[in-house]
A and B are shown apart, each in its own frame.
Chain A
Amino acid sequence: AQSVTQLDSQVPVFEEAPVELRCNYSSSVSVYLFWYVQYPNQGLQLLLKYLSGSTLVESINGFEAEFNKSQTSFHLRKPSVHISDTAEYFCAVSPRRGNYQLIWGAGTKLIIKP
């Protein structure tokens, strides 16, 4: 079985400041890792994913996440946030075999202060 823990329910940060959203997971099998973003009153959009290869993955809008197998973590970072990054961010994992069902964290609300 898998579980995902997002350590912060809300993260307030000033505009143009760096941010880190933390995600830890537990699994008895190898997993794929994902970050999805949910803007207010919208569905989920894939932000980035780790399937294999380089443990550092990047998105097109400046976010990056690093897979750390020893610490079972997949923290999301951005060096400088913008007001448009205000959203809820979900970390998810899926087993590498089977139907790849996603197991989700509870989400972290990123609040950008002007």
Chain B
Amino acid sequence: ETGVTQSPTHLIKTRGQQVTLRCSSQSGHNTVSWYQQALGQGPQFIFQYYREEENGRGNFPPRFSGLQFPNYSSELNVNALELDDSALYLCASSLDSGETQYFGPGTRLLVL
């Protein structure tokens, strides 16, 4: 059984740029959730994708967008990067939008 993987592991961008983060779900899982974890804080829910459709969104602006592919992998796109977007971005997968989510190692984004 393959766990959740994310790429890249680290990324440095400058303010105003755009970034794409990628996530491969655990084998057999069809749901992906994205979370933002700022330094010293708990994660915050960004959105969830279930069978290629958005299935809930947290309090994040529209410049945070996502996509889920037929193989259930997912992308998180962030446009017009701001300094406060610097964080660890976590992807979690589950089965049928189920209650137990399994997390990847995260992508650490630094915006300068």
Contacts and interface: CB of A to CB of B under 8 A. Distances in A.
Interface in B75-112: 90, 92, 94, 97-106
Interface string B26-55: 000000010100001111110010100001
Contact of B100 (A4, A45, A46, A99): A46
B56 interface: yes
Contacts of B35: 102
Interface stretch (A55-63, A67-75, A76-84, A104-112): A104-112
A43 B56 contact: no
A107 B50 CA distance: 28
Nearest to B3: A43
Given A43-B105, A46-B102, A49-B100, A102 B94 contact: no
A102 B45 contact: yes
Contact of B42 (A99, A101, A107): A107
B43 A43 contact: no
Contacts, number: 61
A47 to B, nearest CB: 12
Contacts of B55: 99
Given A104-B42, A106-B42, A51 B99 contact: yes
Interface centre among A32, A49, A51, A100 (most CB of B within 10 A): A100
The 8 A-B pairs of least Cβ separation, nearest first, read A104-B42, A99-B56, A43-B105, A44-B103, A101-B45, A43-B103, A100-B99, A43-B106
30 contacts: A32-B99, A43-B90, A43-B104, A44-B43, A44-B90, A44-B103, A45-B103, A46-B103, A49-B100, A90-B42, A92-B42, A96-B99, A98-B56, A99-B33, A99-B50, A99-B55, A99-B56, A99-B97, A100-B99, A101-B56, A102-B33, A102-B45, A102-B92, A104-B43, A104-B44, A105-B42, A106-B40, A106-B42, A107-B40, A107-B42
Interface of B: 33, 35, 40-45, 48, 50, 55-56, 58, 90, 92, 94, 97-106
Interface of A: 4, 32, 36, 42-46, 49, 51, 90, 92, 94, 96, 98-107
